[in-house]
Each structure stands twice: as structure tokens, then as C-alpha cells.
Structure 1
Amino acid sequence: MKLQEWLVNGGVEGLSLLQLEDFPDTGRGVKTLRSLKSHDVVLTVPGSLLWTADVALSDPVIGTVIRTVEPPLSVDDILAVFLLFIKSCETGYDGRRAHVELLPTSYTASIFFNDEELEICAGSSLYHLTQKLKQQIRDDYLQLLNKLITKHPDLFPLERFTQDDYIWALCTIWSRGMDFQLSDKQFRCIAPFADMLNHSLDVELCHIYDPKLNRLQILAGKEYKAGEQVFINYGPVPNNRLLRLYGFILTDNPHDSYDLVLTTHPQAPLYSQKVALLESIGLQVNSTFPLKLSDPLPLNVLQYLRIQRLSSSEISTLAVKHEAKDKISARNEAEILKALDEACENLLAGFSVSFEELETKIASGAYQKGSNAWAAAHVSIGEQKILRATLQKAKELLALVICANCGKANENNKRCGRCRKVVYCGVDCQKSHYKEHKVLCKASGE
């Protein structure tokens, strides 16, 4: 049974007006054979044809076996086992096997980069997460091997359930899966044919899952003419995630981010009080903050650090306010901004290839456009841009806390009346610093 026949028989609507095609920029995608207005229904896929954890668990052949695994398998592992089981079948499951046969045989996610390619973005969150992901995959496969595969060799022949096969299945799920937040859970699925649609930021978010009707729909995210490629929008995904999960990047991606991880050690002074204060404003003791060019130093980062660096005399004051939106004290603010300054400097120094060198290599063609090296370079450039912006913001804020001449953090420090960009603890420091400051000050006043 061919895929299209299975989909039509299964109740998929809209197929007759769509066609798979290879496009020069994006590769295989979906073309519309009719004009579409924004929000027109393009494709409807019934839930019975989706690849989901529930469908796998209810499968009459392997469902019971998967359900016996303790602790229960993750959604991704359930889907991976289901995919590989269908792929290994020589009879039955005709429609799903037809779908599997159309899936890519290889992927370009960052876990497939060689050491030299990955080293180009060393220092980036992509680099660290990719290394961590590789180890996690090895660990997860070993558990799957021990808990399921070796116990049921008749269902899961080892030669078709190797670690490489497992990685292929995971990449299929990551690159082709769709996620929806339902009222009671996170729902992940792969929708046959809909999984061929490519990503574009130029369209609205246009894929919806209706749990009551148990169906997935693709809507037109913009107007299309007949013959144009139809896109979906994956959402505000940064390049470090696009490359890690989907195997591509967008140049000048407006959603690029650097994930700043903040944590407080349990042995830190006043730990329990600080944790309570963090939780009172919706932050966890182990928190990850996405830094972006549009907001390189979010308020919640400052809030976290202000609480983290509280002294015993300051903590009672903040406990009454239950806030950390504003400066708590000059001492506290100076400490957190100096720490941020140092952290950003260290993070930038940790990149294996500098921002300037990467831009030069891209401009000169040293990294072939579209290659792994080229993609890794773009990710590194994006993250370094953000960290530079965060560093600059921290320096600007610090200049409004410590005296520009003597460096003291004083509650009574006053801003320069002309430029308003630096502060002084008194007239003597202002006069002493004027020779150094006057060029910047006059330029700011122009």
C-alpha cells in the first residue's frame, strides 16, 4: 500500500490539492496546487494515523511489552521503539511502513558533526548541549537495550535495533515531531505528510491539534498562489536548537539566544531563605535564562542575582518587599554586576574561534555555505553577539552604581549632570576624573 492510499483511506483531507516536490533552497517540501487564503485549511490528519506514544502503547503486538518496562519509557523512547519496530516489519502495517520508507535515511543534526566541525562552535551552548546529548543517547540506548530489546529478540532483532538505528529514530522524532500543550499534558506526534512541510518565519503558527476531535490540522499561515511551497512555523526557535534538533540554521535568526544557567549551592549562606525568596517571584534555584539581542540582560536575571548575593542585613528588607525588581543596595548591585561582567568575559574567552575570525572565514568562503562548519560558525557568532551585548549592558549598569573615579559603591552616588552615564561619590572625584571623562561626556551631550 502506498502512503497516499493509506492516508486517503484513513480519512486525511486535502491531499489531492498538495504535492511533494524538491525545492532548490529547502529540499523536499510540499507544494499547493491551488491558491490559498490565510487560515484556509490545508490538510487534516485524523488522530488514528498520527505517530503518538498512545498509539504505540495500544499496538496489539508491542504495546503490552512496552507497558511492562519499569520505570516507564519516555515519550521519545516509546516513539523510537515504535518507529524501529515498524521499520523492521516485513509484513503488516503497510501504511506506516510506506511512511517510514519516505523518511530521510540520514540527518544533519549537530550530533553527527565530526570533532573538527563541532570544535568551531566550542564555547557555545550548542557545543555543550551536543556533547551532553551524545552521552545521554548512549546511556538511554543501553537502558533500552537491557530493559526491552534483549528481553524480546523476536520483536526487536538486535541487528535492526542498534545504537545507530536508535539515533536515526530519535532524529526523526526531533526533526519531524510536533508538540502541543494540552490542558493536562504535553502532546507530541508525527503527522504523516504534514511532516514534509518546511519551516519559515514568514508565516504564522499554523498547525493545530484538536484533542476533542482527535485530529491535526495545517492551516495556511499566509496567502499562497498555486504552485508555491507551503510552510509551517516551528515557533521562536534559536539557531542552537534548530541545528541540534532539525539540522539547519537561519542566517540572522531573530530568535537567537544564549542560555545562561544560574544556580546557588546548598552550602551558600542563607540558602533556605534565598530559595524561598526566589520561589516567591517564580524562579527556581536552578534556572536557565535565554539571553537575546533584543533583551540581553532580562530583569529576572538581575532579580535572581540580587537574591543570590543578599547579605544577612539585606535579606529581611527584601523578605518584606517580596520583590527584587529594583536595586536592593549599592553594595548588592555592584557585586552582581561585577560578577556578570566577569562571567561574560570568561564565557566569551571560552569560545574556540572569535567572533571576528568566524565572520572573516564566512565572508571569504572558508566555510562552504550550507556545510556543517558554516552552520556551526553561525551559531557561535549568534551566541557571541548576545554575550557581547550582555557584557555591554552590565558595564553600563555598573557605571551607574560605582564611582567612576574611585570605584566605590555608595547609596549617595550622583550621576554626571551632563551625560547621565556615570556616577560620582562626590565633587572631588568628579573633578579628579573630568580629564578622562570629558571626551565621552561631551560626545554624549551632542
Structure 2
Amino acid sequence: MSLPELEQFLSWFQNSGGTIDRDAIGFKYFSSAEGGRGAVALKNIEKDQTLFTIPRYLTLSSKTSTLPEKFGHKIWKERALDKGWSGLILCMMWEDAQALNSKWGPYLETLPTAFDTPMFWSEKDLQELEGTSVVEKLGKEDAERDYHDKVVSAIQSRPDLFPPGTITIHYSLERYHVMGSRILSRSFDVERTNTDDYTGDEEMNTDADRSTGNAMDVDVHDEQAGKEDNSIRAPEDEEEDEEDGIDVSMVPIADLLNARFGSENVKLFYEENELKMITTKRISAGEQIWNTYDDLPNNELLRKYGHVDILPLPGGAKGNPADVVEIRADLVLSAFSSQSGTDAASSAERIDWWLEEGGDDIFVLETDYEVPEAIASLTRLLCLSSDEWEKARGKGKPPKPKLDSPVLDLIIIALQKRIAQYSSTMKEDEQILETKEGMSFNKYQAVIVRLGEKRILHTTLQRLQNLLAAEKAKSDNTQKRKPVSTFEGPSKSMKKARR
């Protein structure tokens, strides 16, 4: 965005009811390592200062766009456009097609049209992410299925709203992915209020089924009590958001701010009629103003935003302190089957019960290298004898997460299987980064992601192997201390006592 475009956008924002402290906040281009375009403090700013406010009606969502109303709310719901992101994407494409006739025209012109996220990578580049959770979470096939099954049919049913001559320009699959990526990388969740239908300029109607929403988090701000609600989280399932009273929305100005691990100095708060960006600490003049992604791991940063965080780690390495790696429950089941000689089907009843009782099917390892209690509990469940299994089921309680030798053995095997899912070793990745000359940026970021996951796996594995060795040594020592039985009848003292 050039300076004239920025000024035009800021004028639109203020003329539309937004406010911004132009003496305190400015916008500039930083290096790519610092996030590119972002906001900067023009003077020293104290904590709890409001930098800008956004009226709720100025947020763009399927609740504020007029398209669902023009389409007909009943038909909109019948076509399931109120579920998932397809409806919001269609709203954004339609508003974009209206150009400056749309209330959000000047805002939409500021949004990116190209992305570095894996959604747009080539198959060759995606292969570099083999073994990570990034590719399976892209949801590209599901998104394209929604486009063809829901969006295209909706567009074709209303040529009055979607003139056939505009389809290839504004409603193509490519535009659908671009709008979806805009939502993924820039949207916010805002909890609904009782004044939540913001389709008019400044008029709001009360409707229990309406509101606005976020992919970054937004907190409640109570100016009188000074409280905030930190329970809001970035959603993966918008159907869940419908039930939880959360809507996904684009929020002008707020999405210009960058984010970096541990750097947050402002946060977006919501109130009845507006959202406020408020400083959470003192910011010195010249400092970048950082919002928060809730300190996401690199695999999520890359998937959503197309970048990774590289910071100093304990021990001299560099990476993201928030990195995680996922272990699927089927790896634990596979480890048990290989050790016990049974097939997975024989454990199906226990797995079904585990899931029905609310057990996890994915376990997350973090940089504290602790074993999640849930994975230990599931492993013990698989190891129970038939009688023990019936007893546990009768109580309706999974086993305690005790890390004894059988459990440690199986979790170690599961981690080894997880490591084997990568196409390169940890050492090979470290060597790749040492000699990165000529490497594509996509490959570089992919190596950073998978190396971060492997560090967690290898360190956790080493820790468990040490625990197992200690358990076995303890068991061996106990066996050595046990007296050898030479019982041949009552001792003399015992005989005397009997008399």
C-alpha cells in the first residue's frame, strides 16, 4: 500500500466512524524479518492507551454484509452458507465485486492479493513439509468441495446478484482461495453482544442469532472494572463458533499490525458497540506496535500467515519457543499392536470407549518435553487385562497416567514411529540450514518447521529413554535385594513357638 493509498484508506476509516490517534501511531514498512508493513509508535505511549476504535458495523462479516439479506436469510441457511467459512468468503467476493459501491471498498483494496502460505505452494515445495501437520491442516480439498458444492450453486441461482459476466473475474476458485487466505491470516473473533446485527451504517438491530468475529483473539474490556476475559481463542471450526456466540470478521486497521512471539504490546478489546486497540505496556517512540497471534508454533504461523518466528532457544539453537508436535492416537495403537502381536481391530472397543468418554485422539508435545497425561492414560488403557478393562469401563474412568515400564516402552515406540514419518533426519536438516545458499524461501521455512518439531520429538524421546532405563535399573536392584527362598519348613524358633 503506497502512502496515498494509505491516506485514502485512513480517511475512509475515520469518515466511516472509526477513530485513530494519528499523533501516536503511524504505519511503515519493516524488514521481512520484522513482519513487513506494520505500525510504529510515533511517540512514547503509556500503558492502557487507546490507539484506535472500530465501530462494530465497520467490521466485515456475514452478519454485517448485506448479501445474506439480499439472498434471503432462509435460503442462505438452507444452502448451509451460514456454516463454515464459505458464506463469509462469498460475502467478501461479492463486496469486492461491488468495488467502491461497497461500504468496504477502500478497505478491501488494501488487502493482499498474493500469499506465501502453503495453500499456494507447489507440490514440490509441499513435499518439504512431509511429516509435519501443516499439509493435512490446509483443508484445500474441503475448501474446494465447499466452493463447488455450495458457493457455485448459490452464485448460479441468483444471476441478478452475480451477473454471469463477472463470474470468472470475481468468483473464480482462485479468488475463493485468496479470500479464504485473507480470512485465515487477518480475521478476528469477537464475542457477540445483544446489539449485533450491524448491516446498516450506524444502526444496529437486536437479534439473538447475530454478531461479529476473529482468527486472532479479542478480549472483553471493562473500563470501569479494568477486567478482561482471556477465554477467547482462534477458531478452527466456525460451526463451533456459531454455538459459542463467536463470529469471524475482518477488522479494518487492526489487521495492519504485525505479531511476533512474546512481543505483544497492544491487544484488541471489544465493547458493546465498538472494538478498541489498547496498549498492554509502555511503548517507546520508534518501536513497532505488535498485536498477538497468541504465540503460535511455527507450523501454525506458516500455515496461517506464511512466515515463521526464529528466536534464540536454550542451548544456543534458534527456533520458536512455542513450537509443538502432534502425535496421533493411531500411532499409539500401532505401537501397542506391534508389541502385543494383536491387530488394531482387537482394541477397537477400548478406543471407541476412550473417545466416547471425551479422550483425545491427538496429543501435543511441547518444548517442556513433558509427556501429556492423556497419552499415558490411553497407553495404559490398551495394556489392561480383560478384567482390568471391564473394571475401568464399569467405573467410567480411564486409567491413571502412570509412566511405568510397559507404558514408557510403548510411548517410545510411538515417538520413534512419529520421527520416521519425516523424509529427513534432524542432523540432515541442521546441515541443510548451515549450507542454505540457493535454497528457496519456501524450503527454508519448511526446514525450520520440521526441525522445530524434531527437536521436541528427539528431546522427549531421550528423556523417556532415560526414565525407562531408570525404571529398569530400579527393578533390577529390587530383584537383587530380594532374599532367595530356601524355605524347607518352620524354623526352630517357629517350632518352639508352636509348642
Q: TM-score range by the shorter chain?
A: 0.7 to 0.9
2:426 corresponding residue in structure 1: 355
Which residue type is aligned with residue 175 of structure 1?
A: S
Change (3 A) 1:169 1:278: closer
CA contact (8 A) 1:208 1:218 kept: yes
Structural mapping, 1:328-343, within 5 Å: 334=406, 336-343=407-414
For residue 173 of structure 1, give the secondary structure of its aligned residue in structure 2: helix
2:145 corresponding residue in structure 1: 139
Counterparts of 1:246 and 1:344, CA distance in 2 = 28
Counterparts of 2:134 and 2:438, CA distance in 1 = 18
2:12 corresponding residue in structure 1: 6
The alpha carbon displacement at 1:153 in A equals 3.4
Counterparts of 2:38 and 2:111, CA distance in 1 = 12
The alpha carbon displacement at 1:293 in A equals 1.8
Counterparts of 1:152 and 1:58, CA distance in 2 = 11
Counterparts of 1:262 and 1:146, CA distance in 2 = 37
> Which of these residues, 335, 357, 369, is aligned with residue 295 of structure 1?
369
Counterparts of 2:377 and 2:438, CA distance in 1 = 41
CA contact (8 A) 1:126 1:379 kept: no
Counterparts of 1:113 and 1:277, CA distance in 2 = 37
Instruction: Report the TM-score, using the length of structure 1 for normalisation.
Output: 0.80
Structural mapping, 1:307-346, within 5 Å: 307-318=381-392, 320=395, 322=397, 324-327=399-402, 334=406, 336-346=407-417
1:259 corresponding residue in structure 2: 326
Counterparts of 2:369 and 2:456, CA distance in 1 = 9
> Which of these residues, 119, 125, 135, is aligned with residue 127 of structure 2?
119
CA contact (8 A) 1:120 1:376 kept: yes
1:83 corresponding residue in structure 2: 92
> Which of these residues, 222, 247, 254, is aligned with residue 194 of structure 1?
254
Change (3 A) 1:258 1:267: closer
Change (3 A) 1:274 1:22: closer
The alpha carbon displacement at 1:58 in A equals 6.8
Change (3 A) 1:271 1:350: closer
Change (3 A) 1:387 1:273: closer
> Which of these residues, 177, 199, 215, is aligned with residue 187 of structure 2?
177
1:435 corresponding residue in structure 2: none
Deviations along 1:245-273, one digit per CA (max 9) or x if unpaired, are 11110011111011222157998557556
The alpha carbon displacement at 1:173 in A equals 0.2
Mean Cα displacement is larger for which, 144-153 or 106-115? 144-153
The alpha carbon displacement at 1:226 in A equals 2.8
2:447 corresponding residue in structure 1: 377
Deviations along 1:19-46, one digit per CA (max 9) or x if unpaired, are 2211123211112333212232222111
Deviations along 1:153-201, one digit per CA (max 9) or x if unpaired, are 3423321211100000000000001224399423322110111100022
> Which of these residues, 54, 62, 70, is aligned with residue 79 of structure 2?
70
The alpha carbon displacement at 1:327 in A equals 3.2
CA contact (8 A) 1:277 1:322 kept: no
1:168 corresponding residue in structure 2: 178
Counterparts of 2:264 and 2:60, CA distance in 1 = 24
Counterparts of 1:230 and 1:306, CA distance in 2 = 48
CA contact (8 A) 1:203 1:222 kept: no
CA contact (8 A) 1:361 1:367 kept: no
CA contact (8 A) 2:262 2:295 kept: no
> Which of these residues, 278, 294, 309, is aligned with residue 250 of structure 1?
309
Counterparts of 1:364 and 1:291, CA distance in 2 = 29
Deviations along 1:375-406, one digit per CA (max 9) or x if unpaired, are 101001011111212322332343355x46xx
Change (3 A) 1:146 1:59: closer
**Is 1:229 equivalent to 2:304 in the alignment?**
no
Change (3 A) 1:91 1:46: closer
Change (3 A) 1:352 1:274: closer
Which residue type is aligned with residue 302 of structure 2?
A: L
Which residue type is aligned with residue 124 of structure 1?
A: T
Q: Percentage identity across aligned positions?
A: 24
Mean Cα displacement is larger for which, 168-177 or 55-64? 55-64
**Is 1:427 equivalent to 2:480 in the alignment?**
yes
Change (3 A) 1:288 1:295: same
Change (3 A) 1:32 1:135: same
For residue 56 of structure 1, give the secondary structure of its aligned residue in structure 2: coil
1:437 corresponding residue in structure 2: none
Which residue type is aligned with residue 148 of structure 2?
A: L
1:217 corresponding residue in structure 2: 276
Which residue type is aligned with residue 117 of structure 2?
A: A
Counterparts of 2:460 and 2:262, CA distance in 1 = 28
For residue 45 of structure 1, give the secondary structure of its aligned residue in structure 2: strand
Which residue type is aligned with residue 283 of structure 1?
A: G
**Is 1:37 equivalent to 2:46 in the alignment?**
yes
Matched residues, number: 400
Q: State the Cα RMSD in Å.
A: 3.1
Counterparts of 1:162 and 1:375, CA distance in 2 = 29
Which residue type is aligned with residue 281 of structure 2?
A: K
1:439 corresponding residue in structure 2: none
1:239 corresponding residue in structure 2: 298
The alpha carbon displacement at 1:59 in A equals 5.6
For residue 94 of structure 2, give the secondary structure of its aligned residue in structure 1: helix
Change (3 A) 1:306 1:123: same
Counterparts of 1:207 and 1:75, CA distance in 2 = 26
Which residue type is aligned with residue 373 of structure 2?
A: L
The alpha carbon displacement at 1:146 in A equals 4.0
Which residue type is aligned with residue 352 of structure 1?
A: S
Change (3 A) 1:172 1:387: same
Deviations along 1:64-113, one digit per CA (max 9) or x if unpaired, are 487254234434222211111111114512x4111111111101111112
2:22 corresponding residue in structure 1: 16
Change (3 A) 1:206 1:396: same
For residue 65 of structure 2, give the secondary structure of its aligned residue in structure 1: helix
